[in-house]
Structure 1
Amino acid sequence: MSTEKNQDRPADLSPAQRVDAWRRLSEEEFDLVVIGGGVTGAGAALDAATRGLRVALVEARDFASGTSSRSSKMFHGGLRYLEQLEFGLVREALRERELSLSLLAPHLVKPLPFLFPLTKRVWERPYMAAGLFLYDRMGGAKSVPGQRHVTRAGALRIAPGLKREALIGGIRYHDTVVDDARHTLTLARTAAQYGAVVRTSTQAVGFVKDGDRVIGVKVRDSESGATATVATQSVINAAGVWTDEVQKLSGQRGHFTVRASKGVHIVIPRDRIVSETAIILRTPTSVLFVIPWETHWIIGTTDTDWNLDLAHPAATRADIDFILTRVNEELVTQLTHDDIEGVYAGLRPLLAGEDESTSALSREHAVAVVTPGLISIAGGKYTTYRVMGADAVDAAAAFIPDRVGESVTDRVPLLGADGYFALINQCEHLGQQYGLHPYRVRRLLNRYGSLLDEVLTAAVDDPSLLRPLGAAPQYLRVEVAYAAASEGALHLEDVMARRTRIAIEYSHRGVDCAREAAELMAPILGWTDEQREWEIENYCARVAAEVASQRQPDDEAADALRVAAPEARREILEPVPAPE
């Protein structure tokens, strides 16, 4: 597949663009460098670029490789935060949800009906009705319907998979669902489209200072080990659970610390639970979501403290058993370990507080000047990424000599959003044009939006790219090729875990299609036969370590197995070294 056509388009993160980005990082001076390619960092980079700033975004591994690919896949207002009286957070999140649903990313953020089963007589229905009334009035019922109450019989018609004795009635309401990894990638590509220099496998390993003032970032290529110094007026540390490590590089402690809370989800086939809607269930400390995800259900999450490896949080058998036990209390058909197709664990970067319960720590975000020229941002929730990015850039503006305008990202659709609604109405015509079933076209539009034509262009010269992957037929071969040519995928893991979600959607976790995908990526990325074989072996070793870790009884045993697997990025430094 040729990438020549794509090299002139800034948003296409091609191999050629990657080489040029390293040159630019080494030679140019920036107004702002953002460290961290999760949703907050990508959002900050887009915010800065659309204000006209010269901005660079660097990420040690891959876009969304930390927390931002391991969420509950919800772009939601946070109904349960009303109980914690965090009204401002809920109102803000609902505004952001509405923006993304209607304008910024309608191809990625989708409405999702929920059923809240009621289990207590007398008080629970009016209590939840009051909360949902607030939720709807704060903005939860603009583009989606408001709450609707149902009897037990009505609830069981909606979700026949629930036990009759598990509820006395229910309330139906709406929230939204998103492919978090694809959304974060799209943010980063949109930032590149507006002029940001965006580069993954680029690890911040130190700062350059003039007195106390940060004037540069030392970076290291996680693939080759090459180093460079990036000159800049200001830096935003948006490293999520690595926030404290990056702050240490400056020689300063920072004004807040970040605590990691582990959340585990399991993925099961769609036919194992009969329900028209998502389901939200209470746990002793939090809630459990049962989310429809194409031909699967995602069930989670747990909420436990984590003090081990930050890059590869491991799910244990105890985590999985907790989820199965809780959800089976409600289901007619009992789920077992044999039903599980995928498992993933992620870390929430919570602002450290005095309360020992991680579920009670605030999801509000904080921005602080660590030292002149260096700003840290942490906390918050996925849905409010845009506000977090804007707040961080506002703080960085104090160190940028030129006047910095106001944030405009509430009016900047993400790549693929423009024209999406019209294309959805043309699925049959597009299917005939490309020789694809309309269902397949709709699915592609919900992943790429109006970039559909660009994705499928490669298949004009090679029709075999329109075939599904042999062992992962939800995905076309062309999607793997496009990931390597235009979406910055550098390793097989990047494609299996984040450009697609094969790693969690198929029981083989991507092992059975690893060779086919690697053979598609190899000519685009210039891999030798030896490199291709190494990628396959490395990915299979990673999967084997994850599966083995999920059989362990505790965090320590699971972590030991997971961290023993080889890194795809062989030159990455773990942990980030402390300053001399």
Structure 2
Amino acid sequence: LRGGLLSWDGRLTDDARLVTAIARTAAARGARILTRVRALRLTASGARIRDELTGEEGEIRARVVINASGVWAGGLVDGIRIRPSRGTHLVLRADHLGPLPAGLHVPVPGETNRFVLVLPQGDGRVYVGLTDEPVDGDIPDVPEVPETDIGFLLDVLGSVLDIPVQRDDVVGAFAGLRPLLDTTPGEHSGAAPRTADISRRHAVLTSPDGVITVVGGKLTTYRRMAEDAVDAAVATHRLTAG
């Protein structure tokens, strides 16, 4: 080790609390929040939806429709191709790693711009992540963590530890799917680019019939993503912005 950088800007957000806070803020501004409802079909003037608890279907009418459905966006609007990418985190106990006053950035062997992050939490847990693996076929509602992801993260972590962490030391794991926009023209010629090499920048797209879609992006840019999507809706449908 020849040097290091100590900072406090990478602290994780409780994503569940963030979603709840945004929904409550929207409701306070007059929004109607519907949970456990699946969008089946979108048009510029509304959506066909299904209540996942009762199975009842119905129509929602709207002046503007914004498709912000992540990895499912391509199934609701024609012409949008998504390359889902699985990101896995492991959950370890801090006592298996020793005292960690700060997080670690561990270079992935053989890569020039990929790292595994070791992020200590305030409750004695440590998150280790994350992977970048393409997901083919049907998109699961809850992505599962394969043993290959766990083995990869443990191998990278072990490359910098005197005493490697064992599989039995993993007390949990979770994964999410990145909605990466596939921008390759037409059919792929030759090997498709790795999901790790696809841009994380978000994109706001407007379909020929006026549905606004926002895809890509990251948690850290969610406010800018929302702003750009709303700006596109206001411009496309000539709305009056408050």
What TM bracket, shorter-length normalisation? 0.7 to 0.9
Hey, what does 1:192 align to over in structure 2?
Answer: 27
8 Å contact kept, 2:233–2:239: no
Hey, what does 2:9 align to over in structure 1?
Answer: 175
Hey, what does 2:73 align to over in structure 1?
Answer: 243
8 Å contact kept, 1:288–1:299: yes
Change (3 A) 1:207 1:179: closer
The amino acid that maps onto 2:135 is W
- 1:113-512 matches, within 5 Å, as 167-176=1-10, 177-207=12-42, 214-247=44-77, 253-254=78-79, 256-273=80-97, 274-283=99-108, 284-285=110-111, 286-293=114-121, 294-310=123-139, 311-354=141-184, 356-400=193-237, 402-405=239-242
For 1:367 and 1:385, the matched residues in 2 are separated by 13
User: TM-score, structure 1 length as denominator?
Assistant: 0.38
- Find the residue that maps to 1:178 and give its secondary structure: coil
Instruction: State the 1:340 CA deviation.
Output: 0.9
Instruction: State the 1:309 CA deviation.
Output: 3.5
8 Å contact kept, 2:42–2:76: no
Change (3 A) 1:394 1:344: same
Instruction: State the 1:303 CA deviation.
Output: 0.8
For 1:397 and 1:327, the matched residues in 2 are separated by 47
The amino acid that maps onto 1:173 is S
For 1:239 and 1:374, the matched residues in 2 are separated by 13
- 1:69-80 matches, within 5 Å, as none
Instruction: State the 1:260 CA deviation.
Output: 0.5
Identify the structure with the greater helix proportion: 1
8 Å contact kept, 2:87–2:133: yes
The amino acid that maps onto 2:106 is L
Structure 2 residue ranges without an equivalent (≥5): 185-191
Identify the structure with the greater strand proportion: 2
List per-residue Cα deviations over 1:418-461 (Å, max 9, x = no partner): xxxxxxxxxxxxxxxxxxxxxxxxxxxxxxxxxxxxxxxxxxxx
- Find the residue that maps to 1:325 and give its secondary structure: helix
Aligned length: 228
The amino acid that maps onto 2:134 is D
For 1:221 and 1:319, the matched residues in 2 are separated by 34
Change (3 A) 1:399 1:353: closer
For 2:37 and 2:150, the matched residues in 1 are separated by 34
The amino acid that maps onto 1:234 is V
8 Å contact kept, 2:49–2:59: yes
For 1:187 and 1:352, the matched residues in 2 are separated by 28
The amino acid that maps onto 1:300 is G
8 Å contact kept, 1:243–1:258: yes
Structure 1 residue ranges without an equivalent (≥5): 1-166, 209-213, 248-252, 406-580
List per-residue Cα deviations over 1:8-33 (Å, max 9, x = no partner): xxxxxxxxxxxxxxxxxxxxxxxxxx
8 Å contact kept, 1:234–1:399: no
For 2:84 and 2:40, the matched residues in 1 are separated by 21
Hey, what does 1:114 align to over in structure 2?
Answer: none
For 1:301 and 1:389, the matched residues in 2 are separated by 25
Hey, what does 1:19 align to over in structure 2?
Answer: none
> How big is the alpha-carbon RMSD for the aligned residues of Structure 1 and Structure 2?
1.7
8 Å contact kept, 1:233–1:399: no
For 2:219 and 2:161, the matched residues in 1 are separated by 29
Instruction: State the 1:400 CA deviation.
Output: 4.2
For 1:375 and 1:297, the matched residues in 2 are separated by 38
Query: Segments of 4+ in structure 1 off by > 6 A?
Result: none
8 Å contact kept, 1:233–1:373: no
Instruction: State the 1:332 CA deviation.
Output: 2.6
- Find the residue that maps to 2:7 and give its secondary structure: strand
The amino acid that maps onto 1:278 is G
Instruction: State the 1:192 CA deviation.
Output: 1.2
The amino acid that maps onto 2:154 is L
- Find the residue that maps to 1:171 and give its secondary structure: coil
The amino acid that maps onto 2:171 is E
Instruction: State the 1:271 CA deviation.
Output: 1.3
8 Å contact kept, 2:106–2:116: yes
Bigger-Rg structure (1/2): 1
8 Å contact kept, 1:272–1:333: no
